[in-house]
Amino acid sequence: MGESARSAYDALAPAYDLFTAGFAHEPWLVALEALAIEHGLSGRRVLDVACGTGKSFLPLLGRGYEIAGCDISASMLERARAKAPGVRLVAADMRALPELGEFDLVTCLDDAVNYLGSDADLLDTLRGLRRCLAPAGLAVWDVNTQAMYRGAFSRTWAVEEEIRLVLWRGCAEEDFAAGGRAVAAIDVFDRGAGGWQRSRSRHEQRHWPASSILETARAAGLTVLAVRGQHHGARLEPRLDEDLHPKAVFVACRDDRPGKEVPAMSIGRP
């Protein structure tokens, strides 16, 4: 992760909002809020880890939550600050979160966890999420599934506006295996007075099976309360199927808070 993720998102930052224009952040955050409330969310303090340009916290800000955010990319944070000048935003690597306070809800969304390349990185990140939780707080994060890597990460597609084109080229195989690594290249073409200029970012991700997430969360001092399979369009289902759902969503609390651990039957094929 580290420098590779920072440089990838520094390069992509000017085009990130165009690149994600079709992503349903508003209904997604509403669905995740409802999921958190279902599992006991009551406070209004939110920390968005890997907040990017702010698209993953703006819906909650609009719903009256008190927001703080952090990201490894200064360029992404610059754009988030322009959208939400009153929000506390700091540069931070999610593998080594600083003391940011205690929060009722800590989110880490938009497949940020998949940029973690090692077991140690995942453990350090989940420990950091736990440190930021208030005693009754909840953490919510998502990861990409095998269905995502066999789909979007094996295809080429583009999105454009008048003076900019963003081209995604996924390099994963259609038989992508559990625990594998996937690479995508994103080319951004900007039209200026001297013609078209191209910038490129390379995005390498690791697939984290749900069993690995659960095991590492337990080691990090978290109790996973729920696992949801997510379809495109922010539709959550109570069972996760790696072959069907592009994303998996996890809800966890501190292990010193009473809570029933997610049953194994929540993970697997219907």
Phi, psi for residue 29 in degrees, rounded to 5: -65, -35
Structural domains in the chain plus CATH codes = 2-144+207-266 (3.40.50.150), 148-205 (2.20.25.110)
Residue-level pLDDT at 130: 98
Strand partners, 254: 222
217/267 Cα distance (integer angstroms)? 15
Confidence of residue 267 (pLDDT cuts 50, 70, 90): confident
> 22-30: long-range contacts at Cβ-Cβ below 8 A with a sequence spacing of 24 or more?
22/159, 23/55, 23/110, 24/232, 24/233, 24/234, 25/55, 25/56, 25/58, 25/59, 26/59, 27/233, 27/234, 28/59, 28/234, 29/56, 29/59, 29/60, 30/59, 30/63, 30/234
Residues 6+ away with beta carbon under 8 Å from 88: 67, 68, 69
Residue-level pLDDT at 195: 87
> What is the tens place of the pLDDT at every residue in 135-185?
999 999 999 999 999 999 999 999 999 999 999 999 999 899 999 999 999
Cβ–Cβ < 8 Å for 107, 31 = no
> What is the tens place of the pLDDT at every residue in 53-65?
999 999 999 999 9
Please say if the pLDDT value at position 270 is more than 90.
no
Please say if the pLDDT value at position 269 is more than 80.
no
Q: From 79, 96, 89, 108, select the one nearest 10 (Cα to Cα).
A: 79
Residue-level pLDDT at 265: 57
Cβ–Cβ < 8 Å for 72, 91 = yes
